[in-house]
A and B are shown apart, each in its own frame.
Chain A
Amino acid sequence: MALSRRTLLASAGSIAMTAGLTTACGTNDLDDLLVEAERPPEGPVTVRWWAGKIPARDGGDMRPAIIRAFRRKNPTIRVEIVKGLSTTDGNRVALTTQIGGGSTTPDVYLGDTTWPAQFGANYLALPVDSLVPESFWDPYPQALMQASSLKGKVYAFPCYTDAAYLFYRKDLLAKHGIPVPRTWEELERGARRIQRAGDADYGFVWQGSVSESLTCVVTEFLADAGGSVLDRSGRVAVADEPAQRAVSYLRGLVDAGVTPSAVTTFAEQDAMDAFAGGRAVFLRNWAYAWGMSEADGASKVAGKVGVVPRPGFEGRPDSGYACLGGWSNFINPNSENLGAAVAFARFCAGEEAQMMLLREAGVLPAMDTVLDGPAAARTGDPTITTTRRLKLVARPVQTPYYPQVSKAVYTQVNSAIGGSEPVGGALRAARSDITAALEGKAL
């Protein structure tokens, strides 16, 4: 076999090359990086910012406006946009390949709020807590800080957040004399009445497909029922009694026909289409759904939609839980302009940029103090004015293995909702999958 001899030689060469490639750029020390990051830039520098479009309320893009405002304060730092994708997955592929491959650009990148622990643990994001005074984090939601940190270190600067709401058809509820539901049980009864009258195909639509969105839905319903995926001590609590109640409720919605069985294929778009097409009474969705359902022409239900915090379960004291979503700015530890990168990320988290987001953008600013101010009320956007009434819950993201944990949740619960697994069995399977994931043993 002449081939194998040649292959062996080539592979030996290739291993040597590998070693060369990785050691050549693997010598950075965290302390040096942090010193570097504290130093303000000398002379003009360019920071490259990887970010998907931040939609403005008028359909435009907020990114250039934020950069202009930053330039006014920091004339020596130029910021260039690298058009990022807007989907979490596409961005993750592009960014992990680049930064894991040692690339010095982008210097700052806008990433999902579920990333910090994983990216921090994998050296793809610089810990930034030592660069700012402790009081810096005070104006941001507790859940966001929780989501952004791992083992006491914070890996991302807040940019904007997202939260889930219950959207409902004002006209249909009024027609049937049904009050806005305060519990899930009420919602189910009301929806069924309207469906029976033939006024809507579906009672309640949400996201049940095999994706991160389902983990969000489950996180919320678990909170409603008084549970969580991981409890305070880090134990896997996903098969406990509250989880049984939460997932049984979701399964029951499908069995009762309140939620279509196609919900197991629903992502945000599908649920939104059903609601905006006038086919559903209730919708669980993120803040963007307000603008979508009020859009003339695209939506059949414009002017007939109400927004409230999510209800709770009967007999439980709490309601209004909402999964925390959104995007934060991360610093590429390989960046050659760490000081400038940090300055820009801090600016996006600061009051001026947050006020711009509040006034002009179609996203929720991360800063509570901005949301509390009078300017928030003036927007007239119910998702903004109700945000402070929400109880934001973070997904169990404080582990480097969050993607595996989430996958265990959404695949098993999806099977339970679709009816191919009993609820109890699916949750026990989820528990063992999550346990394996937390030990780093899951694929």
Chain B
Amino acid sequence: MSTTGTTGTTTGEPSGAAARTAGKTTGKTTGKTTGRTARRGTARGTGRGTTERRLARAGWLYASPALTLIAAVTLFPILFSVVLSFSEVRLSYGGFRIEGFTTDNYAALAHSSAWFESLVFTLGFTLVTVVLELALGTAAALVLERLGAARGWILAVLLLPWAMINVVAAQLWGYLYNGTYGVVTWAIEALGGGEPAILGRPVPAMAAMAVADIWKTTPFVAIIVLAGLMQIPRDVYEAAEIDGSGPWTTFWRVTLPQLRPILAIAVLFRTLQAFGVFDLPFVLTQGGPGTATQSLAILGYKTLFQNLSIGPGAAVATSTAALVMGCCLLFLRAFRAQVDEGGR
């Protein structure tokens, strides 16, 4: 097979070269290869006004089922929770009721060292895991992209951790880290590490948790990035090859910039998930030793469901959401050009 030329031959579609020269072909072009020329084409056709309005209407038509459903189902619970966080909540026979507006719930957070400790742990955990998962996930995607027949199988293997039920995955790691018979404990002992008590000390416990999280979610990043890699037009690489770039330079100069919209999603949603980390600390350490691994989600859970403090619990949840949202907006602002590319 040559490096240029016919692609998509298996599905009987016209070749990229043909598509490029002809400019327009039948409606069945896959267009993976049209690349730069097409990408840069900014012509939107003439007769702008009416077409634009017609297209916008079509847009709302396409988007409205999804948006309506989301609004109908999610708006009430979220706003309800926000309202609760500003309310004095009283339980009574037959359910709880809201009595009056208050900011006490947030004042309680501000005065609580537990909340700050949780925040610090959650931020640290998020930062470490997201950075490592992104790096490892991208590396894995690059490997997968270059694999031949084995790719599908490895993809399936990679998805197994990701597909595992969170609680069960956490229990599996709890089993591996078990203080008396866990295989990791045993391996460390065998290597002369003494009696490690991995989950019993703050720093090893955090590291152990990060490893478990990385194991479970790196595949997700890898798959997202792989989908992005698939989309990079061939000729971009060819141009780099002609320029005489080495693989490393090509990666930084060509691959990475092309991947940005996809990487942005990976960062965004991994951050969201890492910020909400619950099952791992809940199963592995219950937030211990002491409160070293008590994430914001655990704190919120304990406040809401163990203490039945509905107002403060809602405040923990709402403030967490506000913080993550803030991080995401900052991130989006910094990467605006990449995430919104073509979006306005």
Chain A–chain B contact at Cβ < 8 A: yes
In the complex, B75 has a CB within 8 A of chain A = yes
B residues 58-86 in Cβ contact with A at 8 Å: 71, 75-76, 79-80, 82-83
A443 adjacent to B91 (CB under 8 Å): no
Q: A265-B199, A279-B180 are in contact. Are A415 and B95 (CB under 8 A)?
A: no
Contacts of B112 in A (CB 8 A): 442-443
A residues 401-432 in Cβ contact with B at 8 Å: 401, 403-404, 407, 411-412, 414-415, 418, 420-421
Per-residue interface assignment for chain B, residues 173 to 203, with 1 indicating a CB less than 8 Å from any chain A CB and 0 otherwise: 0000011110001000000000111111110
B95 adjacent to A92 (CB under 8 Å): no
In the complex, B115 has a CB within 8 A of chain A = yes
User: In the complex, given contacts A209-B288, A415-B290, A443-B309, what are 11 additional A-B residue pairs having Cβ atoms less than 8 angstroms apart?
Assistant: A10-B75, A15-B79, A123-B94, A210-B285, A210-B291, A265-B200, A334-B95, A412-B290, A418-B200, A418-B201, A418-B290
Q: A89-B306, A123-B93, A412-B290 are in contact. Are A266 and B179 (CB under 8 A)?
A: yes
A261 adjacent to B75 (CB under 8 Å): no
Chain A nearest CB from B116 CB (Å) reads: 11
Contacts of B308 in A (CB 8 A): 96, 100, 118, 122, 124
In the complex, B321 has a CB within 8 A of chain A = no
A29 adjacent to B299 (CB under 8 Å): no
Contacts of B310 in A (CB 8 A): 100
Distance A100 CA – B111 CA, assembled complex (angstroms): 28
B98 adjacent to A262 (CB under 8 Å): no
In the complex, A65 has a CB within 8 A of chain B = no
Contacts of B316 in A (CB 8 A): 443
Contacts of A274 in B (CB 8 A): 180
Q: Which of B93, B96, B180, B196 contacts A334 (CB 8 A)?
A: B93
A residues 1-48 in Cβ contact with B at 8 Å: 10-11, 14-15, 17-19, 21-23, 25-30, 33
Contacts of B196 in A (CB 8 A): 262
Q: Which of B76, B96, B108, B200 contacts A14 (CB 8 A)?
A: B76
Chain B nearest CB from A252 CB (Å) reads: 17
Per-residue interface assignment for chain B, residues 274 to 305, with 1 indicating a CB less than 8 Å from any chain A CB and 0 otherwise: 00000000000111111100000001001101
A–B Cβ pairs within 8 angstroms, 16 of them: A15-B83, A26-B94, A30-B93, A89-B305, A96-B305, A100-B310, A209-B285, A260-B179, A261-B197, A274-B180, A334-B95, A401-B307, A407-B306, A414-B290, A443-B115, A443-B302
In the complex, A354 has a CB within 8 A of chain B = no
Chain B nearest CB from A120 CB (Å) reads: 11
Q: Which of B91, B180, B197 contacts A100 (CB 8 A)?
A: B91
In the complex, B97 has a CB within 8 A of chain A = yes
Q: A22-B98, A209-B286, A418-B290 are in contact. Are A262 and B79 (CB under 8 A)?
A: no
Contacts of A10 in B (CB 8 A): 71, 75, 79
Ranked nearest first, the 10 interchain pairs of A and B with the lowest CB-CB distance are A262-B179, A210-B288, A102-B95, A415-B290, A264-B200, A28-B93, A14-B79, A262-B197, A403-B306, A265-B199
Chain A nearest CB from B214 CB (Å) reads: 21
In the complex, A248 has a CB within 8 A of chain B = no
A23 adjacent to B290 (CB under 8 Å): no
Distance A122 CA – B286 CA, assembled complex (angstroms): 25
In the complex, B109 has a CB within 8 A of chain A = yes
Interface bin, chain A: 35 or more
Q: A209-B286, A443-B109 are in contact. Are A270 and B178 (CB under 8 A)?
A: yes
Q: A14-B83, A210-B287 are in contact. Are A124 and B91 (CB under 8 A)?
A: yes
Distance A123 CA – B289 CA, assembled complex (angstroms): 33
B200 adjacent to A11 (CB under 8 Å): no
In the complex, A385 has a CB within 8 A of chain B = no
Contacts of A75 in B (CB 8 A): none
Distance A397 CA – B279 CA, assembled complex (angstroms): 27
In the complex, A382 has a CB within 8 A of chain B = no
Closest B-chain residue to A17, C-beta based?
B76
B80 adjacent to A18 (CB under 8 Å): yes
Distance A33 CA – B94 CA, assembled complex (angstroms): 11
Closest B-chain residue to A269, C-beta based?
B178
Chain A nearest CB from B183 CB (Å) reads: 14
In the complex, B92 has a CB within 8 A of chain A = yes
Chain A nearest CB from B153 CB (Å) reads: 36
Chain A nearest CB from B71 CB (Å) reads: 8
